[in-house]
Amino acid sequence: MKINENFLKLKDSYLFATVGAKTAAYKRAHPDREVIRLSIGDVTLPLAPVVIDAMHRAVDDMANRATFKGYAPDQTCYGYDRLLDSILDSYARKGVTLGKGDIFISDGAKSDCGNILDILSADNTVLVPDPVYPVYLDTNIMAGRKILFADANEGNGFLPMPDPNVRADIIYLCSPNNPTGAAYTKEQLKAWVGYALMQDALILYDAAYEYFVTDSSLARSIYQIEGAKNCAIEICSYSKTAGFTGVRCGYTIVPQELTRDGVSLNKLWARRQSTKFNGTSYITQMGAAAVFTEEGERQIGENIAYYRENARIISAGLDSLGIWYTGGKNSPYIWMKCPNGMGSWEFFDELLEKASVVGTPGCGFGKNGEGFFRLTAFNTHENTLEAMQRIAKLLKA
């Protein structure tokens, strides 16, 4: 028996596990200090009432022989009609027409970001932005793929554009971006779609944060760009949109027109899912189906507005300190430059030790993240204000 030696090429621990361990050690050493976490992007507001009502009704269905549900009706996409229809409606409002057969229900974007690689050859060359959500990189290291980086930096506003001299087969894009909060305009995405089509490459587009977009020039879905159905898979989540980080539900769009060498990627993914997955619970799906109803969108809109206000508080605090950052407007993430030329972990330690505020070191997302730091808007207004006051006091001192 041989292990998968690619795992030995990974960093020892997943970024958020390291941040969590450092925070726990600090709390043990200083039990009296109140720590404010603006690190992992985990939601803090309860589920919207429409979601809770729908889940309660679904629990009652499960208590009744006539309405009880076992496995999901379709053993490939695993979606109940009510949920699939609501997703189609949400896309229609963005001007995108999909078919039910394009949608696959999952337990969240992170799993599908990794799992989708099952249907793609290990020989493919992968292009990931740097800095990047660690999942894209680590899952490809595990599979032993060749990885190239698209440099994101202060110069390009952390929005790298395609380089025609670089040849890639699989391209990862996330907009609004994790970790930088920067978001592509439709025009910019058009260039990426053109590049992918020209190279016969596949874009894996992570749209987990699209409900934070308010600016209409920015893309909400890659399928708003002509030609994208022939070169892109879109991975979406209810986690940040509707507070489902602890509930777990997402959806992945593999358009039926997406083929390579005459093979349908939709069919391959259906085959993969029916073999290795057994669906998302009925109760969860009914809760998710309430999210994109008219009342659901109104209620989740209130929660997103709450987080957006936190992002505004953080951005305003950084503005007044004269600190450069991206994000914070169409995203729950704010990507700031560390003050006084500090390194990312150096600033992390300083902020934790002297202000009891936890963020995420930018270098944990890639070499171009060195000297940067990510803050999230997922906390209370009170804690966010308090954190910014502590940061201001520390930096002024």
201/304 with CB nearer ligand MLT = 304
The residues that touch ligand MLT, with contacts defined as CB under 6 A, are 40-42, 110, 178
Backbone torsions φ then ψ of 126, nearest 5 degrees: -110, 140
d(CA 277, CA 255): 20
Indicate the residue among 40 and 191 with the shorter CB distance to ligand MLT. 40
Q: Which neighbouring-strand residues pair with 335?
A: 326, 374
Judged by beta carbon, residue 41 or residue 129, the one nearer ligand MLT is 41
CA distance 186 to 201: 19
175 Ramachandran zone, left/alpha/beta (phi>0; psi -120 to 50): beta
* CB of 35 or CB of 40, closer to ligand MLT: 40
Q: How far is the CB of 233 from ligand MLT (least distance, A)?
A: 18
Least gap, CB of 293 to ligand MLT (angstroms): 24
Tokens at 61, concatenated: 């269905």
Q: In the complex, what is the shortest distance from the CB of residue 335 to ligand MLT, in angstroms, rounded to a whole number?
A: 12
Report the nearest approach of ligand MLT to the CB of residue 137 (Å).
13
* Least distance to ligand MLT, CB of residue 146, Å: 25
C-alpha triplet 310, 235, 80: angle, nearest 5°: 105
Q: At what angle do helices 81-93 and 282-289 cross, to 10 degrees?
A: 30
List CB contacts of 341: < 8 A, sequence separation 6 or more.
371
By the 10 Å C-beta count (0-12 exposed, 13-18 middle, 19+ buried), 333 is classed as: buried
Report the nearest approach of ligand MLT to the CB of residue 178 (Å): 5
Determine the residue with CB nearest ligand MLT: 41
Q: Are 180 and 326 in contact (CB under 8 A)?
A: yes
Q: For residue 262, what are the contacts with CB-CB under 8 A and spacing of at least 6?
A: none
Based on CB atoms, which residue is closest to ligand MLT, 108 or 160? 108
Residue closer to ligand MLT, measured from CB, 80 or 205: 205
> Rounded to whole angstroms, how far apart are CA atoms 359 and 369?
13
- Minimum distance from residue 109 beta carbon to ligand MLT (Å): 7
Give whichever of 90 and 178 is closer to ligand MLT, judged by the CB atom. Answer: 178
